[in-house]
Amino acid sequence: MVVATIKIGDEPYTLGLFDTAGQEDYDRLRPLSYPQTDVFLVCFSVTSPASFENVREKWFPEVHHHCPGVPCLIVGTQTDLRDDATVREKLARQKMQPIRKEDGDRMAKELGAVKYVECSALTQYKLKDVFDEAIVAALEPAPKKKSKCLVL
């Protein structure tokens, strides 16, 4: 676990960050770290269409199974490599391309994520924004579901 303090305005917030292993070997152990989670950051590399699909096929279902109602942000990482010629050539050879921001926005909407955000740890591009959005999502009350029953 990594602990970080982030300021939003003048207010400091302490975050406990768990980087859970994505390998199949840890599929049974990983959910043990989920209780008392206030917000999930479900990350993928914008240069890896396979990791993008895993958000829909593996990570979102797993998180919602173990922690229904906990807010989730989808985070596209490695944005500094999206326009890298070598990366684009490698993907093109497989008839693929980097994930676009619009693709992330669409997936977030389809899955009911709080938001889609992008960042680059290497260049620090929008890195603080990711954690600011996570704090806001954790602090906001869950939207109340409208009752489907009306008593007159």
CA dist 147 → 141, 144, 152 (Å): 17, 9, 13
- The per-residue pLDDT for 101 is 98
Q: What percent of the chain has pLDDT over 90?
A: 69
Residue whose structure tokens are 């740890």: 121
Alpha carbon distance 148, 48 (integer Å): 41
Mean pLDDT of 9-16: 89
Q: What count of Cα atoms within 13 Å lies in the side-chain half-sphere of residue 23?
A: 3
Domain ranges of the chain: 37-152
- The per-residue pLDDT for 34 is 87
Give the angle 128-122-45 at the CA atoms, nearest 5°: 85
Element (H, E) at 57: none
In this predicted model, what pLDDT tens digit does every residue of 32-71 receive, in sequence order?
888 889 999 999 999 999 999 999 999 999 999 999 999 9
Assess whether pLDDT exceeds 50 at residue 9: yes
Assess whether pLDDT exceeds 60 at residue 144: no
Q: Is 121 helix (H, G, I), strand (E, B) or coil?
A: coil
Mean pLDDT of 58-86: 96
Assess whether pLDDT exceeds 80 at residue 142: no
- The per-residue pLDDT for 94 is 97
pTM: 0.88
- The per-residue pLDDT for 4 is 86
Alpha carbon distance 5, 131 (integer Å): 10
- The per-residue pLDDT for 21 is 66
**In this structure, are residues 78 and 124 in contact, taking their beta carbons and an 8 Å threshold?**
no
Q: What class, spelled out in words, does domain 37-152 have in CATH?
A: alpha beta
Q: How many CB atoms lie within 10 A of CB 60?
A: 21
- Nearest 5°: phi and psi at 81? -95, -5
pLDDT tier at 15, thresholds 50, 70, 90: confident
Comparing 118 with 152, the larger pLDDT belongs to 118
